[in-house]
């Protein structure tokens, strides 16, 4: 038990349709008037900003296409035809130790850009007492909604990591899971030990769509979705598909997360500007609209904005 201590996890979703099939969505929507998807505001739960004059991003050296500064203005220009309402900034892989500084910087951006409604900050929760001190600094930021950090393969065996998650649960902060699909099953060992935490799976668990690998990923997703405190971002999947991706290529992967998690636990994410490695922001936004076209009006509202607004209290 951590110094702050655990508090009881309040389940944030109704799981009655966790086994909902995509075909059921179409059946439910059949008798409803068609809704213009472009008129539904999307809450984008996965936006990065880069400032190369302010921070070091070592990982960008391996991604020359996006190895430059990306400002709020760049995002607004790229997403202007995608009807984005609220956005959630996610830590952008700045060099170790810069997580607090980055979160403070984005907080200052939000003062001039009111669409920024939340921040997922970087914090290495595997640092013992240092975590408590750093977390106190971060929680002073009113837009702080969660944490993302490295996720060691043996996290479920680390008392320090679990204690760090205790601290997050105590102050109602989510934890983003960004890990290779082959480690989904192993991550469940940790999640089972932390029922009071709210976990958000980034990028649908990073399936290898380009390599057409599906069975290991499908099994991991199904097992992870059995945990009621795990939610999933529909984001980042065109970069896992290569530049020749199509909506039909993405559909079986998307269908599987719908069947596994249910509509109530899925959220839209644009993955800006990493999305540029395989397309444009608009191309992904349009593909998302195509994938969800058959949903009922209420389901569309859930996956476009209501779920994210609820889960992150935006």
The enclosing domain of 143 has a CATH number of 3.20.20.140
99 touches 89 (CB < 8 A): no
Give how far the C-alpha of residue 29 lies from the chain's centroid of Cα atoms, to the nearest Å.
27
Residue 149: band (very low, low, confident or very high) from pLDDT cuts 50, 70, 90: very high
Q: Is residue 91 part of a domain?
A: yes
**pTM of the complete model beyond 0.75:** yes
Q: Is residue 128 part of a domain?
A: yes
Q: Is residue 198 part of a domain?
A: yes
Q: Is residue 8 part of a domain?
A: no
Q: Is residue 4 part of a domain?
A: no
Residue 89: band (very low, low, confident or very high) from pLDDT cuts 50, 70, 90: very high
Residue 25: predicted pLDDT: 45
Q: Is residue 16 part of a domain?
A: no
As a whole number of angstroms, the distance between CA 121 and CA 276 comes to 22
Lowest model confidence (mean pLDDT) among 35-39, 67-71, 72-76, 160-164: 35-39
Q: Is residue 263 part of a domain?
A: yes
pLDDT in tens, 178-189: 999 999 999 999
199 touches 146 (CB < 8 A): no
Q: Provide the domain limits for residue 192.
A: 22-311
pLDDT in tens, 94-123: 999 999 999 999 999 999 999 999 999 999
Please state, rounded to an integer, the average pLDDT across all residues of the chain: 89
Residue 78, judged by CB atoms within 10 A of its CB (0-12, 13-18, 19+), counts as buried
Greatest alpha-carbon span in the chain? 57
Residue 7: predicted pLDDT: 30
Q: Is residue 222 part of a domain?
A: yes
Domain count, the chain: 1
Residue 19: band (very low, low, confident or very high) from pLDDT cuts 50, 70, 90: very low
């Amino acid at each position: 038990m951590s110094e702050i201590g655990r508090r009881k996890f309040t389940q944030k979703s109704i799981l009655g349709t966790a086994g909902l099939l995509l075909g059921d969505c179409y059946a439910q929507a059949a008798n409803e008037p068609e809704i213009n998807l472009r008129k539904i505001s999307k809450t984008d739960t996965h936006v990065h900003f880069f400032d190369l004059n302010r921070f070091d991003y070592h990982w960008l050296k391996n991604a020359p296409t996006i190895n430059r500064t990306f400002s709020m203005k760049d995002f607004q220009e790229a997403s202007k035809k995608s009807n984005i309402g609220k956005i959630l900034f996610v830590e952008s892989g700045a060099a170790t130790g810069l997580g607090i500084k980055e979160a403070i910087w984005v907080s200052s951006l939000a003062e001039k850009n009111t669409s920024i409604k939340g921040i997922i900050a970087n914090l290495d929760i595997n640092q013992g007492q240092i975590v408590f001190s750093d977390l106190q600094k971060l929680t002073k930021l009113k837009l702080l909604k969660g944490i993302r950090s490295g996720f060691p393969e043996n996290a479920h065996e680390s008392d320090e990591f679990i204690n760090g998650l205790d601290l997050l649960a105590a102050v109602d902060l989510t934890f983003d899971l960004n890990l290779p699909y082959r480690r989904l099953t192993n991550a469940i060992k940790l999640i089972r030990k932390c029922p009071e935490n709210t976990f958000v799976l980034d990028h649908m668990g990073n399936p290898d769509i380009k390599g057409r690998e599906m069975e290991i990923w499908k099994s991991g997703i199904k097992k992870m979705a059995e945990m009621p405190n795990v939610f999933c971002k529909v984001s980042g999947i065109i970069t896992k598909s290569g530049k020749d991706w199509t909506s039909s290529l993405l559909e079986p992967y998307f269908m599987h997360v719908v069947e596994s998690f249910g509509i109530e636990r899925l959220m839209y994410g644009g993955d800006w500007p990493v999305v540029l490695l395989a397309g444009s922001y608009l191309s992904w936004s349009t593909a998302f609209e195509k994938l969800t076209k058959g949903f009922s009006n209420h389901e569309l509202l859930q996956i476009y904005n209501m779920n994210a607004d609820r889960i992150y209290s935006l």
